[in-house]
Amino acid sequence: MASKVIHAIYTDDDLLLQAVKQVRDARYHIAEIYTPFPVHGLDKAMGLEPTRLAIASFIYGLIGMSVAILMMNFIMISDWPQDIGGKPSFSFLQNLPAFVPIIFELTVFFAAHLMVITFYMRSKLWPFKAAENPDVRTTDDHFLMEIDASNHSVEELSKFLYNTGALEIKLIEN
């Protein structure tokens, strides 16, 4: 069975947001939306679940902090203790104030780098991957809403989308 998808193109982000609400109220399934910039409130209008990236970032920060503490305890206390400026390195807790900047920097480093890697893996953005953008104008100034039309009348759906403010509508059959 061939699947039908309708691409509705909009020129304004507020118009797109209103159209998404109208399309969802009419019980049509929105497959994807392509925008040239993030549209505030679009995820809630589409009914998407909240992201768990903040939890992942916190865990990555804890990993970075743990690595920093273990690394400095091994290097400065166990492996090569040094008497620097009259401050002996007998215990980690005595020298903790000197280690705070390193702990902070490695926490931020791990959280930032692992979040970028997580984002690329989650988004399936690999090096040298071909673009999956259905319309080139969505990288500049247009917004595209992709709606599954397999179980609906194409003419009725097209008319409905024009009434929501769509500038252009294309039928794509796979």
Which span out of 77-86, 104-113, 141-150, 157-166 was modeled with the highest average pLDDT?
A: 104-113
3-state class (DSSP) for residue 47? coil
For 1-5, 46-50, 69-73, 106-110, which range has the lowest pLDDT when averaged over its residues?
A: 1-5
Please check the confidence at residue 162 and state whether its pLDDT lies above 60: yes
% of the chain beyond a pLDDT of 90: 52
Task: State percent of the chain over pLDDT 70.
Answer: 95
Q: What tokens does 53 get? A: 């990236």
Using the predicted structure, report yes or no on whether residue 86 has a pLDDT greater than 80.
no
The pLDDT value recorded for residue 98 is 82
Which residue, 18, 16, 30, 15, is CA-closest to 152?
30
Helix (H) or strand (E) holding 33: strand 30-34
pLDDT tens string 45-55: 999 898 888 89
Give the global pTM: 0.71
